[in-house]
Structure 1
Amino acid sequence: MATRSHRPGRATRAPDDPRNRDSDRNRPRRRLPMRLLLPLFVLAALMAMLMLRGYVHSEVLADHRVGPPAANDSVPKDILKGGPVIDTREGRPTSLDLPDRELVLTFDDGPDPVWTPKVLDVLKKHDAHAVFFITGTMASRYPELVQRMVDEGHEIGLHTFNHPDLALQSKSRVDWELSQNQLALAGAAGIRTSLFRPPYSSFAQNMDNNSWPVTEYIGSKGYITVVNDTDSEDWRRPGAEQIIRNATPKNGDGAVVLMHDSGGDRSQTVAALDRYVSGLQDKGYRFDTLTAALDAPSAHTPVAGLESLKGEAWVFLVQASDQTTDVLVAGLAVVGVLVFGRLGLMLILSVAHARRVRRRGFRWGETVTEPVSVLVPAYNEAKCIEQTVRSLVASDHPIEVLVIDDGSSDGTARIVENLGLPGVRVVRQLNAGKPAALNRGIANARHDLIVMMDGDTVFEPTTVRELVQPFGDPRVGAVAGNAKVGNRDSLIGAWQHIEYVMGFNLDRRMYDVLRCMPTIPGAVGAFRRSALERVGGMSDDTLAEDTDITMAMHRDGWHVVYAEKAVAWTEAPESVQQLWSQRYRWSYGTMQAIWKHRRSLVDRGHSGRFGRVGLPLVSMFMVVAPLLAPLIDVFLLYGLVFGPTEKTIGAWLGVLAVQGVCAAYAFHLDKERMTHLISLPLQQILYRQLMYVVLLQSWITALTGGRLRWQKLRRTGAVGLPGTGSGTPQQPVGGRPVR
């Protein structure tokens, strides 16, 4: 029987050996890094705040149903014929009327930040007092108004938390409404109250078989139910005169008067109140609190200890949720302006760019025919280096090819040497990173025009020629080519294809017109040797050496332009993990480059144009907007779940339509087939969210001072040389198939 080999001198343990468990306990546990934990915590906190805000604004868990009238045969006759104050606390229902010329003004649904202060001002002016039946939602949001009510001698009653019809609710929901209402009152004013008014209540004679059991149950909890016997009907907004007539009792009777200080426009209520109070005071009426009018003990009880702390914590959290939501709404407005501003700029300026470079007779200057050095930095590119080099050899422009092997361990350099292709040289170095490899290539290049590309990229025969033509203009120091995704057959590849055509190449047209191109893509870019030497060559200060060198070119006064016909086919990541690694490096490197060149904001002259225009646009469009863009999806999800659903879906479809128009135009400019745009909606739902998380993680890494290693992507060699506008490989390149 074959035995498993193991390292000599090392004993093996049985699977059930106790020492294995000891070893497992001693092994340090892997923990999620802070850069992952912090985004998750922030997201959870924001979602909790948003849900709390929705609950307090009666958008979450609210019940707006109102039950129909019912029979009243189970309601005691004494209650139906009695007064507006109903006491069922002792199990023997009783009701009370107010003494003659005693008026208790009651205000429902507040406090309201607009109308409640005006009501309080009128009452203070006439030295009158009232009872405010507050909802927990409003008291939690405006605790200072509740405190003012108490300070000015008014009485507080409960009106539930979310204003549901309690006749339709379970006992547990009734308990919840009362306890939450008391919690809000405790946090706002440090008191409890024994007064309660059910929502949608009116006169005692209107009590029915549905509302009476609720009144009995609430009484068993220690509350006195207060309805009314004089309704101003101010909610109908009949005019100040009619409100006064409705609220005036007959024959000098006392009354509980119903008004509202919230729930809509209460300007008529405020106007009527001033005249109403002064007029009836002149006739000998008194306006006092309910307990004062009935000569009863105060309805207020101070709270302290844990109950007080819980109330204060609740009010604090509600205030924080409102403020957080205000910030989120402001952020949503900002990202809306940025997104639509960017789309508008891209459309307008890309049209201008296309008209300029495609008009008959357009030339950058004298035709460039001088030979070019093409640098191919390569690290473990064995699977794709052959098709890369063969595509270059097939170029219709005179070139030399330098493959700089950066310490590959998979025989990359040997593969190139064995090809024996003319004009192709291999330069070997110990592994030092891509910037060092490019600088080594620059030092060994024989020509003054230098093209840089990635080891997984394939050029078309015309790419080099089209890429260097802008150097006919002596002001041009660098040229960005048109990078396309070659492996676009998978769903993730199709999404990246849309991103490249719309997000990158349409962007480059816009930045070209504005003369502030932020990035020469590493897959296809060209430079003047003199320009590279003046800025010190490729730097390893950032992980985005292509963005870094481009910004340095601008600051040195060079023009950086876009050559749309210089097409290169690159291999995009084929797995989520690979994509994550690539974009994480790009995002973090871009932030590093922006920070490194932040002083370009104060550069002067032509070299300061990038700082005045380019750097702010790059910061807003590539860093701030993507960071805030998840707010669109957060509010979309909230709107879908809690409404208004139809408007939310319509708004999202509108944004998608605008993006679709931009994407279709970008595909038209690049002569790409529109079929890939079928996956655009799914890209917006799934792919974009991944990019958000990547950028957020990059932010966290930057803010926490983390260091990000260079992350090598695993290549498959799946990209050949597609025919123009197609995603399939062209047949022979340099006499042999690409694949």
Structure 2
Amino acid sequence: MRRRRRPAGRRPAEPRGHWFLVAIAALLMTGALLLNAYAHNVVGETQPPPADYGDSAELERIRSGGPLVNVSGARPLSARPKPRRVALTFDDGPDPRWTPRLLDLLREHHAKATFFVLGARVAEHPELARRLVAEGHEIGNHTYTHADLAAVPAWRVRVEMSLTQKALAAAAGIHTRLARIPYSSGPGAVGYGQLTAMRLLGDEGYLVTFADVDTQDWSRPPVDEMVLASLARTAEGEGAVIIFHDSGGDRARTLAAVDRLLTRLERNGYTATTLTEAVGLPTAHTAASPNERVLGTVLGFAQRASFAFVEALGWFLAAAGVLTLLRLTLFVALAWAHARRTRRRSTGTPQWTAPPPVSVIVPAYNEAAGIEATVRSLVATDYPGPVEVVVVDDGSADGTGRIAASLGLPGVRVIRQPNAGKPAALTTGIAHAAHDVLVMVDGDTVFEPPTIRNLVRPLADPAVGAVSGNTKVGNRRGMIGRWQHIEYVVGFNLDRRAFDLLGCMATVPGAIGAFRREAVASAGGVSADTLAEDTDLTMAICRGGWRVVYEERARAWTEAPASLGQLWRQRYRWCYGTLQAIWKHRGAVVERRPFGRRCLGYLTLFQVILPLLAPVVDVMALYGLFVGDPLPVVAVWACFVAVQALTGWYALRLDGERASVLWVLPLQQFVYRQLMYLVVIQSVATAVLGARLRWHTVRREGTFTLPAASVPEPSLAGRRRRAVRGGNAPRRRRSRP
């Protein structure tokens, strides 16, 4: 790698505080997910408090008493509705579909009712709570999330009731003294667990409400059955508290039963009214304080925001999944078409009348570990025409230029210059190159003998301005090396096959690329405007009207970073440089040629936007695992990995590589993928904050420090080749056709 020269005393100010912003965003997202999960009663402590059996006489008094119970005193007191008074109560609302229809029905019958609401639903639909109060109905507290108060600790009981009161304060400006324990029915069914919860509610000043008739409409019984059960209690003029539900599913039968019941009650001289009026008590509503209203407003906003956020995430995940699958399908199809075209390209395509002379330019900065193997591989080419190798020593401090010069190989020139950066080194090499066909190769890369011949062949077409070769990872023994090997074959080379057919090649890699001098000159030469000079140059050549193609048979073996830290440094520079190139060439989007719309649109969507938001996928997956049914999450993940594996198998087959390396693909989802996403986040933050990123040098491990005889050599008809790897002499293996 090369470093860029900067004025003395000026060091790039890379951002640091943006990680704090990322952490804040992660906390907000986590909070939104947890609030959404809590509001839907899928998270929260559900371990019951220690058993307190208490006084069995107290429990018997509650069981034998009326449906409205006060346990705030020394002994429980209960009350019943007055004769010919019926208190219709509705649980689990308000519901945007069924509650308004129920209110319309009650208004038609001039009836009042008591609604035991869930605080989460009130926060979500405050307008319905306001309508309940405005039309003279009564509201009771049914907890915030429908938690079983008999199975949660005391603090959770208080939180549930308090949050509901705040939601009511914001929505309707009231508090309520009525409460109903979820999963309760009549007082005769009260157990010791509910008794403990009742004591807590009594200490908070609540009147606990049960029922004389539980219609069990949640199980959708026949309408006549619910009506008859309700009328049985009122057959002899007694009052009654009756339970229905206005939420939690299809309530069409509930509406029909209420309509018939009210008609029969009116005919029999009954009055359907609120619970407190039915038993002869003052209204359960009290005015909420301004502070409670403010807190409730904040709570409601936070909950609605969390609901909207989770819903938006769901749509984003669906869109991202569809786009990813479409991309994989399209690129595999294009790769198949490209492979067929390659097999048929021996006829009907332009051919050189005579092999043109080639200048190979090797910009090198501190490449002592591998420069000898690089230069020897270039000299060992089987290209039939003249080849010169121009090594530009860009101010190396480790003797790179001296090593290259000491080899004494024919056709090799070494040019030394003060450190000025890779673009300047390439410009120097182009200026000293004697020929018009230019091959650029990094100082850490090794060519196979037929590489130059295959790389230059497409330039016989006068419309072709540049050719991208096939970069392969040489040090692929460890896990990080295998991950990068898969990425190079599946992510880079598969994409280049598609870009070739679509005419929107984004990058001719610095490791291996052939250029027509005229095309480079028309693009303004190698620019130092970005840290991805190869992407910048490729885009400029494409915008100039030249074709840029991919030649998979031109193979180059490069040394990939061997540690996560080194990988981060390399990809950070690549990503940031790509962002710079996209911004520099943004005008291509409105040009007549489709290159800008295809290339920049693809890069922006699949290499910036989706990776930038991809951590959300992981967070949502964890959210689904821990607060929902994990089976769909695991199934989707397995399907996604399976699709990736099939795509990887085909890409490896096209490249003549063994598919056995795919065993590391599932592991790649847990470390490597997240690292690449964090690189995108870091790069975007650096670009948005306007910081100037310095050139990140990657330490060389000397993968290709091998004897000359072990440099990759051609195989019979391209069917066998020697794999370059770290260590001693490489072993032979058979590649796929």
Q: 1:376 aligns with which of 362, 368, 379?
A: 362
| Structure-2 residue corresponding to 1:481 | 469
| 8 Å CA contact retained: 1:349, 1:509 | yes
Q: Distance in 1 between matches of 2:722 and 2:654?
A: 11
Number of paired residues?
700
| Structure-2 residue corresponding to 1:109 | 92
| Structure-2 residue corresponding to 1:591 | 579
Q: Distance in 2 between matches of 1:41 and 1:213?
A: 40
Q: 1:698 aligns with which of 673, 683, 706?
A: 683
Measured on the aligned residues, the alpha-carbon RMSD in Å equals: 2.7
CA drift at 1:227: 0.7
| Structure-2 residue corresponding to 1:120 | 103
- Please give the secondary structure, in 2, of the residue aligned with 1:483: strand
| 8 Å CA contact retained: 1:331, 1:631 | no
Work out whether 1:40 is the aligned partner of 2:37.
Answer: no
| Structure-1 residue corresponding to 2:670 | 685
Matching of residues 166-565 of structure 1 within 5 Å: 166-248=149-231, 249-359=234-344, 361-362=346-347, 364-367=349-352, 369-397=355-383, 398-565=386-553
- Please give the secondary structure, in 2, of the residue aligned with 1:507: helix
| 8 Å CA contact retained: 1:109, 1:262 | yes
| 8 Å CA contact retained: 2:368, 2:398 | yes
| Structure-2 residue corresponding to 1:726 | 723
CA drift at 1:389: 0.9
| Structure-2 residue corresponding to 1:664 | 649
CA drift at 1:359: 3.5
Compared with structure 1, are the counterparts of its residues 592 and 159 closer, same or farther at alpha carbon in structure 2 (3 Å cutoff)? same
Moved more, 313-322 or 579-588: 313-322
| 8 Å CA contact retained: 2:119, 2:165 | yes
| 8 Å CA contact retained: 2:455, 2:514 | yes
| 8 Å CA contact retained: 1:479, 1:526 | yes
| 8 Å CA contact retained: 1:75, 1:207 | no
Work out whether 1:96 is the aligned partner of 2:79.
Answer: yes
CA drift at 1:481: 0.5
Q: 2:137 aligns with which of 144, 154, 157?
A: 154
TM-score, normalising length: structure 2: 0.90
CA drift at 1:223: 1.0
CA drift at 1:101: 2.5
CA drift at 1:502: 0.7
| Structure-1 residue corresponding to 2:716 | none
| Structure-2 residue corresponding to 1:648 | 633
Q: Distance in 2 between matches of 1:126 and 1:211?
A: 35
CA drift at 1:467: 0.6
Q: Which amino acid counterpart does residue 665 of structure 1 have in structure 2?
A: Y
Q: Distance in 1 between matches of 2:30 and 2:167?
A: 22
- Please give the secondary structure, in 1, of the residue aligned with 2:162: helix
Q: Which amino acid counterpart does residue 396 of structure 1 have in structure 2?
A: D
Compared with structure 1, are the counterparts of its residues 447 and 363 closer, same or farther at alpha carbon in structure 2 (3 Å cutoff)? farther
Q: Distance in 2 between matches of 1:551 and 1:523?
A: 17
| 8 Å CA contact retained: 1:331, 1:628 | no
What are the Cα deviations for residues 383-408 of structure 1, in whole angstroms up to 9, with x where unaligned?
21111111101111131111122222
What are the Cα deviations for residues 420-463 of structure 1, in whole angstroms up to 9, with x where unaligned?
21111122222222112212222221111111111111111111
Q: Distance in 2 between matches of 1:591 and 1:125?
A: 64
TM-score, normalising length: structure 1: 0.89
CA drift at 1:269: 1.7
Q: Which amino acid counterpart does residue 514 of structure 2 have in structure 1?
A: A
| 8 Å CA contact retained: 1:39, 1:700 | no
| 8 Å CA contact retained: 2:47, 2:153 | no
Compared with structure 1, are the counterparts of its residues 132 and 418 closer, same or farther at alpha carbon in structure 2 (3 Å cutoff)? same
- Please give the secondary structure, in 1, of the residue aligned with 2:469: strand
Q: Which amino acid counterpart does residue 41 of structure 1 have in structure 2?
A: I
What are the Cα deviations for residues 34-76 of structure 1, in whole angstroms up to 9, with x where unaligned?
23222222122212211221111112126499xxxx9996455
Compared with structure 1, are the counterparts of its residues 233 and 674 closer, same or farther at alpha carbon in structure 2 (3 Å cutoff)? same
Unpaired runs of 5+ residues, structure 1, are 1-29, 734-739
Compared with structure 1, are the counterparts of its residues 289 and 729 closer, same or farther at alpha carbon in structure 2 (3 Å cutoff)? closer
Compared with structure 1, are the counterparts of its residues 360 and 603 closer, same or farther at alpha carbon in structure 2 (3 Å cutoff)? closer
| 8 Å CA contact retained: 2:59, 2:190 | no
Q: Distance in 1 between matches of 2:15 and 2:109?
A: 64
Q: Distance in 2 between matches of 1:599 and 1:60?
A: 50
Work out whether 1:143 is the aligned partner of 2:126.
Answer: yes
| Structure-1 residue corresponding to 2:734 | none
| 8 Å CA contact retained: 1:346, 1:507 | yes
CA drift at 1:251: 3.2
CA drift at 1:522: 1.0
| Structure-2 residue corresponding to 1:23 | none
- Please give the secondary structure, in 2, of the residue aligned with 1:53: helix
| Structure-1 residue corresponding to 2:733 | none
Q: Distance in 2 between matches of 1:621 and 1:225?
A: 57
Moved more, 332-341 or 650-659: 332-341
Q: Distance in 2 between matches of 1:658 and 1:406?
A: 44
Higher relative contact order (CA 8 A, sep 6+): 2
Q: 2:43 aligns with which of 53, 60, 83?
A: 60
Q: Distance in 1 between matches of 2:722 and 2:616?
A: 36
| Structure-1 residue corresponding to 2:623 | 638
- Please give the secondary structure, in 2, of the residue aligned with 1:710: coil
| Structure-2 residue corresponding to 1:130 | 113
Matching of residues 550-629 of structure 1 within 5 Å: 550-604=538-592, 608-629=593-614
| Structure-2 residue corresponding to 1:8 | none
Q: Which amino acid counterpart does residue 673 of structure 2 have in structure 1?
A: R
| 8 Å CA contact retained: 1:378, 1:455 | yes
CA drift at 1:731: 9.1
Moved more, 386-395 or 534-543: 534-543
Compared with structure 1, are the counterparts of its residues 361 and 381 closer, same or farther at alpha carbon in structure 2 (3 Å cutoff)? closer
CA drift at 1:31: 12
- Please give the secondary structure, in 1, of the residue aligned with 2:594: helix
| 8 Å CA contact retained: 1:75, 1:208 | no
Compared with structure 1, are the counterparts of its residues 708 and 278 closer, same or farther at alpha carbon in structure 2 (3 Å cutoff)? farther
Q: Distance in 2 between matches of 1:250 and 1:712?
A: 90
Q: Distance in 2 between matches of 1:610 and 1:451?
A: 24
| 8 Å CA contact retained: 1:339, 1:625 | no
| 8 Å CA contact retained: 1:72, 1:207 | no
Compared with structure 1, are the counterparts of its residues 123 and 540 closer, same or farther at alpha carbon in structure 2 (3 Å cutoff)? farther
Q: Which amino acid counterpart does residue 373 of structure 1 have in structure 2?
A: S
Q: Distance in 2 between matches of 1:278 and 1:527?
A: 89
- Please give the secondary structure, in 2, of the residue aligned with 1:538: coil
CA drift at 1:243: 3.3
Q: Which amino acid counterpart does residue 526 of structure 1 have in structure 2?
A: A
| 8 Å CA contact retained: 2:59, 2:192 | no
| 8 Å CA contact retained: 1:136, 1:184 | yes
Q: Which amino acid counterpart does residue 501 of structure 1 have in structure 2?
A: V
- Please give the secondary structure, in 1, of the residue aligned with 2:93: coil
Moved more, 367-376 or 580-589: 367-376
